[in-house]
Amino acid sequence: MVAAIAVLAALVGVGTAQPVLEETRKQASRSDVHAFFIIDTSRSMLAAGEPGGATRFDRARDAAIRLRDGLDTVPVGLASLTDRVLPLHFPTANRVTFESTLRLALGVDRPPSSVAGDVRATKFESLAAVGNRNFFRGVERRLAVVFSDSETTPFDPSVLSDAFAEGNVSLIVVRFGRPGERVYGADGAPEPYAPDPGSAAANELVARATGGEAFHEDELDAVLGAARRAVGEGEIVMLSEQSDLEPLGPYVFLAALLPLAFLLYRRNLA
């Protein structure tokens, strides 16, 4: 009885202290290159082959994760694209940060374009900010990968050419879109939207203007190959990263039920 009481008191004391299990792991990371993945969040990215089908945005998000995994040692940042480019997080080797931001913080019309209700709100000219603003710092190699349906407003290619040359940024553009896709409302009815037949040409134009490469969503293996060529090889450093903390208090309190049950059992026998 005395031993059971002592064990019970000890376990309750440990549980009250709220112990946690903290796991530290090593993360390999390139020190000479950064990448930014820029995902179109305009409403036309909701287009799909059928109501409830995978949208362009869904496919772009899956492609971004696949490409991120193929460049596992490259720090990658994430940004949204409409009529402006907004960074959501800057390049990091932490895959959990990348995927959680991609899944939870990024969405179509989140953030919305400055023109409410504009289905085709993408402006490729706004990509100039990636080249001449502070998206990249302190690295020699810089890669931007754009995931978009390329349904853009007219743009001046020279603006992008100058900006990407100034920032020494390599560009890859991946176009998402298939024949017959429509934007469907919550009730499954198609909205007044039709795919832009000039999207493929716009995709090629922005790539030529920046000295980059253009692909379709069905060419992801080629996209990964182009990205690997762009980042090349470089020094890899080891970074210490902490995983999520695991609270142990609930398990300790569950363990305390055993001596408590024993004490109650002995009391009932008395």
Q: Decide if 127 contacts 153 (C-beta within 8 A).
A: no
* CATH superfamily of domain region 26-238: von Willebrand factor, type A domain (3.40.50.410)
pTM of this structure: 0.79
CB atoms within 10 A of CB 194: 13
The owner of tokens 């992801």 is: 220
Length of the chain: 270
Q: Can you give the residue ranges of every domain in the chain?
A: 26-238
Query: What is the pLDDT at residue 237?
Result: 87
Cα dihedral 52, 87, 217, 41 in deg (nearest 10): 30
DSSP per position, 51-110: TTSPPHHHHHHHHHHHHHHHTTTS-EEEEEESSSEEEEEEEES-HHHHHHIIIII-BTTB
Phi-psi region of 259 (alpha: psi -120 to 50; beta: other; left: phi over 0): alpha
pLDDT in tens, the chain (270 residues): 666 566 556 545 545 656 655 556 677 899 999 999 999 999 999 999 999 999 999 999 999 999 999 999 999 999 999 999 999 999 999 999 999 999 999 999 887 777 655 566 799 999 999 999 989 988 989 999 999 999 998 999 999 999 999 999 999 999 999 999 999 988 999 998 889 999 999 999 999 999 999 999 999 999 999 999 999 998 888 775 655 556 656 665 566 567 656 556 666 666
Query: What is the pLDDT at residue 11?
Result: 44
